[in-house]
Amino acid sequence: QFDLFLGTPHVELPKALDNFDDWVWSAYPRLLTAFIFFWSRHKEVIGSCIGNKCSEALVVDGHQKCRRRVCKVKDIEVQTDLFEKMLVGCCRTPAYKSEYCNLHLYKNAETSECITRTTGRTLPTRSHFSRFKKSRTKKERNFGATNCRTSKERSDAYIRKCARSFGVIAAVTNCGIITTFGEIFRTETLKEILQLLTNCIKASGVIPKTAVYDDGCHLIEYLHNHIGKDLMATPAAKELAKVKFSVDRTHFRNHVGSWCRLNMNPNDNPCML
């Protein structure tokens, strides 16, 4: 229906249901690009929906209710135009009676072999938890560019045990139009969000002049500190760096970092007044 809506004269669908997944995989990139272009430019294509305030701001947020079963492999490295190495999880649905998809079924045999070889396990003690908590706190403090305690990444141990996706991340304009979205397979990481937003800019050629994200302080600091280094200085990344980010008013009260309080206050953003 969306393909016909965009003006495609005819759409070919597979006759057999078994071929539908392969068809979706092949058609998804093209349809997503068309979706992003159309709705990011809806003000030009179908006209402004709320006067001169149409598409003036972008709200980015994660939604964890729509979680589905996914392959248990969580350590796939991919290369993108923005990152040389980006760790993602497998997005495919597990095979019947398995925790792994058809591409990673061999992991079942490896897991069974490990279980067979294991003769016992060491129960964690209070000191183990204490050391883990200290190392995690230190790691998060070094990762965060601000001293706000709002890092959204989960521990790797938690991620590996999770058999479902972590929901979706979506970008919505101030006039209520979804312009882009993507599934989250390893938790809501900064790299995934930056990749999502730069892909949106590449597909549409536009980006609102201001954006809102509940962990915007870490996102914008990571972007400005890493662009031109381990984050490629692509045209889309440079355009994203010009966007004025703020934390939404609901979550801003939890941001205690001095840099964040000074730079991310939504009430000080002239585009949001």
The number of angstroms, rounded, from the C-alpha of 187 to the middle of its chain's C-alpha atoms is: 8
Region 46-68 average pLDDT = 87
What are the residues whose beta carbons fall under 8 Å from the beta carbon of 199, sequence distance 6 or more? Answer: 36, 180, 236
Query: Per the structure block, which two tokens stand in for 205?
Result: 């050629």
Higher pLDDT, 117 or 230: 230
- Residue 167's nearest CA partner among 187, 151, 193 is 187
Single-letter residue type at 155: S
Longest dimension (CA), the chain: 69
111 pLDDT above the threshold of 50: yes
Q: What is the dihedral of CA 239, 77, 61, 265, to 10 degrees?
A: -50
pLDDT for 147 equals: 65
Packing angle between helix 190-204 and helix 20-40, nearest 10 degrees? 70
pLDDT bin (cut points 50, 70, 90) of residue 233 is very high
- Residue 32's nearest CA partner among 180, 177, 178, 168 is 180
H or E element at residue 88: strand 86-88
Region 231-238 average pLDDT = 96
> Distance between CA atoms of 255 and 148, rounded to whole angstroms?
6
pLDDT for 157 equals: 62
User: 45-54, 69-78, 115-124: which range is least confident on average?
Assistant: 115-124
168-173 and 244-246: which strand pairing?
unpaired
User: 133-142, 167-176, 192-201, 240-249: which range is least confident on average?
Assistant: 133-142
> Distance between CA atoms of 145 and 218, rounded to whole angstroms?
6
**Average pLDDT of the chain, as a whole number:** 82
pLDDT bin (cut points 50, 70, 90) of residue 122 is low
244-246 and 210-213: which strand pairing?
parallel
User: 13-22, 52-61, 121-130, 177-186: which range is least confident on average?
Assistant: 121-130
pLDDT for 68 equals: 84
156 pLDDT above the threshold of 70: no
DSSP 209-250: SEEEETTHHHHHHHHHHHBTTTB---HHHHHHHTSEEE--HH
6 pLDDT above the threshold of 60: yes
> Distance between CA atoms of 163 and 71, rounded to whole angstroms?
7
pLDDT bin (cut points 50, 70, 90) of residue 71 is confident
Query: Per the structure block, which two tokens stand in for 198?
Result: 């730069």
pLDDT tens-digit map of 34-55 = 999 999 999 999 999 888 889 9
pLDDT bin (cut points 50, 70, 90) of residue 155 is low
188 pLDDT above the threshold of 90: no
> Distance between CA atoms of 210 and 240, rounded to whole angstroms?
10
pLDDT for 227 equals: 95
pLDDT bin (cut points 50, 70, 90) of residue 73 is confident
User: 98-107, 186-195, 229-238: which range is least confident on average?
Assistant: 186-195
Q: Is 190 helix (H, G, I), strand (E, B) or coil?
A: helix
pLDDT bin (cut points 50, 70, 90) of residue 125 is low
Phi, psi of 58 (to 5 degrees): -125, 130
pLDDT bin (cut points 50, 70, 90) of residue 70 is confident
> Distance between CA atoms of 206 and 217, rounded to whole angstroms?
22
H or E element at residue 262: helix 258-263
